[in-house]
A = this chain, B = another copy of it.
Amino acid sequence: MTQPQEITALKKLVRATNFLATSQIYLKQNVLFKRELKHEDIKPRLLGHWGTCPGINFVYANVNRLIVNHNRSFVYLVGPGHGFPAVQANLFVEGSLSHYYPDVIPYNEDGITDICQKFSAAYGYPSHANPEAPGQILEGGELGYSLSVAWGAVLDNPDLIAACLVGDGEAETGPLAASWYANRLVDPVNNGAVLPIVHINGYKISGPTRMGRMSHEELDLEFRGLGYHPIIVDDELEEDVYVQMANAMDLSYEMINDIQTRARAGEDICKPRWPVILMRTAKGWTGTAEFGGKKLEGNCDSHQVIVNKCATDKGHLDALNTWLDSYKFHELYEMNEAGELIFDKDIQSLIPRKDLCCGRQHLSYGGEVVRSLAKPDLEKLGYGAETPRGTRGESMYKMGEWMRDAFKLNRDQRNLRIFCPDETYSNQLQAVFEETSRGWTWPIESWDNDMTRDGRVVELLSENLLFGMMHGYTVTGRHAMFPTYEAFSQVVSSMADQYCKYVYASQGVHFRKPVPACNVVLSSLLERQDHNGYSHQNPSFLGAMLEKHPHIISAYLPADGNSTLVYTEKAYEGRDKLNIIVAGKKELPQWLTLDEARKQADDGVMVWDFASDDNPDVVLAACGDYVTQEAMAALVLIREMLPRVRIRFVSVTELTSSGLGSLDFQSKPWLMDEVFTADKGVVFNYHGYPNTIKKLVFDYKGNSRFRIKGYEEEGSTTTPFDMGVRNGTSRYHLVIDMAYKLFQQGVIDETQHVAITTDMLKRLVDHGNYIKENGVDPKEIENWVWTR
């Protein structure tokens, strides 16, 4: 039962943080409000989101109370991250800011002046939650991702509770809506718990929210239907909302403990009914209630800066004075001789011990808890050196074996997960089910396969939910893979962008150490849509991600199975980045020994000597497994027709936004000439949009020699070979392009050029006619065998 003194303390702490949040938005001096404000105390330009701040502070104080009462580890995720002044206020009061920034933000008036002056200022503190701020594990600002990230953070952290404040605006987004479904996926035995708190302040930027206009009964129904135990807190009910909230937090904590205790004692808990707090407090609570005949408190008009002319208008300034005065901040602290703030002992009673403050919680600093993966033995998994080139094998199946072994080797570490939108099987990773299964906390039927309460594969059909969970899992120091259909990676492109922003901004923060990479695996590639079709043909994610900082994004396009294994290993070694691995899930020819694959992975670009002639007349390059197969077939074809022509084959298996190959390769720009020759024509066959390669080689002076082929947005339900025909990446097209280059360079004469082109065009026409009349010959490709 909540003690009256606790309520007193909560109220004081919230008064203090509301005061400090307000100060940050308005004041450049007189930040302790030691005297009445004058116009010159006000910043010249007022920016910030006031309306959501009081709710963030209210919840922060209540989370603190639970931490103090139970000495339990909490992280606090703030969905309405644009209420950053509130986050910052709490980080100040709890001492996290002065801990991490002792010189810049000391625990005194200077510190408060600093956070006020620099709030929303260029080169100051951003207006949204951000990795520069202690304890934050999400780049705030883009709404919708707080709850999925929270679920990811508590996986395999059994003692952790993630208190997650969800805004009622954010709650209207699709990604957030699907995040409620994660309660099916998280087993209470070995994982922590999420405590979602929906802040129903009723308003977005300029209008009401969906939940804001729902009755208690409707809210209760919806969340019970979703499988939660809703607890409603409402400032319009008779009981003091502070008492309501403290009781709701206690009840939630008990419920979480009860579920975990029973589960950990061996009880099988089907449908764990986690609590959710539905908290109705007014937007802009405790601010100026009305001004100029306008309702501010409890309305969207308090979303951003209210009484915003206080720098020049007396009426506005008076309102701000009254508002700030209402907090009686001076009653809440004293100063010691050094000028440090000594907060009232009630407030102090709510500050957790240092290591449990939300800004200091080590579990939110993934770099501090990360343990490298024990790595599977590639020699055991790979195709042996004796495997003839051209032997068919499966990249994704190999990756699944690697993951299976990795799960086995790291069984006790419990720091590896697969997050997959319902496609672990479909992407041919089924070998992992020899070692683990899919986690599912709702009913499991006798005929279900590979489902247990505690499986390490997290599956639901929401790319958004699962990407968010991966984000939460990796930034808290664990390792993850997100295998998905290539086309549908686009669903999370914005989430991936925000993840990259978080990681990039983190790198500049002295107290954050590198965290394991997010590994996005694209399979069910555009070429292989015999079973699906045009909707499943989309390499846009790959192209779009290759705009980010080159050290943040690496795209690996392994040419075969051994190459896939090598890049899988490399991906897990990555830190503070997002890797994209593009690999087919059906049989394709194998080209490289493990040693060769390793060598190629150093540079990401390699001349394949076994397929190349010295002193080449023309260069054929490929990036992507299916297009490599076509290119190798084109080599065979053109050599049959032009046995004396000399051809070099270049395989490209890594791309970054700054160019082809690894950053190591790119750091030696002269290598481009060495690999692609100084002056010979280059025909480049690429898996994705040709434009992607165009932008990456733009700065290479020899780029005008490049003829770049790729997916031109033509497709349907068809075979890989036919996709090549439709998009100009087939072996026949490549021969035509090489012949043209050779003709241009005078290596072959016009007669030869015409003959070859005619022959190839005839074969293309024959192909079209054949399948129109006979349907696709499923062996069309498979029958082809590499020979040299």
A interface, CB within 8 angstroms of B: 28, 43-45, 47-48, 81-82, 117, 120-128, 130, 139-144, 169-170, 172-179, 181, 184, 204-210, 213-214, 218-227, 295, 299, 304, 422-426, 438, 440, 442-443, 445, 447-451, 459-465, 487-488, 490-491, 493-494, 497-498, 500-501, 504-505, 530-536, 538, 540, 543-544, 546-549, 657, 689, 691-692, 694-696, 698-699, 701, 703-704, 713, 716-719, 722, 768, 771-772, 775-776, 778
Contact = CB atoms under 8 A, between A and B. Distances in A.
Contacts of A775: 28, 43-45, 117, 121-122, 124
Nearest to A708: B698
A177 B178 CA distance: 6
Contacts of A448: 207-208
Contact of A173 (B123, B207, B443, B462): B462
A504 B713 contact: yes
B44 A295 contact: no
Given A177-B178, A544-B493, A184 B205 contact: no
5 contacts: A43-B775, A130-B533, A169-B461, A177-B462, A184-B210
Contact of A772 (B123, B207, B491, B718): B123
A460 B531 contact: no
B221 A139 contact: no
A778 B531 CA distance: 58
Nearest to A167: B461
Nearest to A180: B177
A52 to B, nearest CB: 13
Contact of A716 (B126, B459, B718, B772): B126
A47 B778 CA distance: 12
Copy tally for this chain in the complex stands at 2
A220 B210 contact: no
B532 A141 contact: yes
A126 B178 CA distance: 29
A717 B124 CA distance: 8
> Nearest 8 A-B pairs (CB), nearest first?
A222-B225, A141-B535, A174-B174, A221-B225, A177-B177, A490-B494, A694-B698, A122-B718
A88 to B, nearest CB: 13
Contacts of A530: 45, 47, 120
A487 B701 CA distance: 33
Contact of A123 (B121, B490, B718): B718
Contacts of A170: 461
Contacts of A130: 533-534
User: Counting chain B CB atoms within 10 Å of each CB, which of A45, A81, A219, A546 scores highest?
Assistant: A45
A511 to B, nearest CB: 18
Contact of A443 (B213, B227, B497, B771): B213
B540 A204 contact: no
A624 to B, nearest CB: 16
Contact of A210 (B209, B460, B716, B719): B460
B123 A771 contact: yes
Contacts of A504: 713
Contacts of A204: 422, 461
Nearest to A45: B778
A768 B122 CA distance: 9
Nearest to A426: B205
Given A128-B533, A422-B204, A422-B206, A497 B501 contact: no
B222 A172 contact: no
A571 to B, nearest CB: 22
A649 to B, nearest CB: 23
Given A120-B531, A174-B177, A221-B224, A299 B447 contact: yes
Nearest to A49: B531
Contacts of A144: 174, 491
Contact of A532 (B127, B169, B226, B450): B127
A181 B172 contact: yes
A76 to B, nearest CB: 19
A460 B172 contact: yes
Nearest to A491: B494
Given A44-B775, A174-B173, A178-B172, A205 B422 contact: yes
A497 B713 CA distance: 10
Given A207-B450, A225-B225, A704-B704, 16 more contacts: A82-B532, A117-B775, A121-B776, A122-B719, A173-B463, A173-B464, A205-B425, A207-B449, A208-B445, A213-B443, A220-B225, A221-B224, A222-B225, A549-B713, A691-B695, A695-B698
A696 B689 CA distance: 12
Contact of A771 (B122, B140, B172, B424): B122
User: Counting chain B CB atoms within 10 Å of each CB, which of A205, A771, A775 scores highest?
Assistant: A775
B438 A534 contact: no
A425 B304 CA distance: 13
A425 to B, nearest CB: 4
Contacts of A531: 47-48, 120, 127, 304
User: Counting chain B CB atoms within 10 Å of each CB, which of A48, A122, A210, A699 scores highest?
Assistant: A122
Nearest to A535: B141
A142 B535 contact: yes
Given A141-B533, A295-B447, A717 B501 contact: no
Contact of A223 (B178, B220, B225): B225
Contact of A461 (B125, B172, B778): B172
A691 B222 contact: no
Contacts of A488: 142, 494
Contacts of A722: 122
A50 to B, nearest CB: 12
Contacts of A717: 47, 120-122, 124-128
Contact of A45 (B451, B540, B776): B776
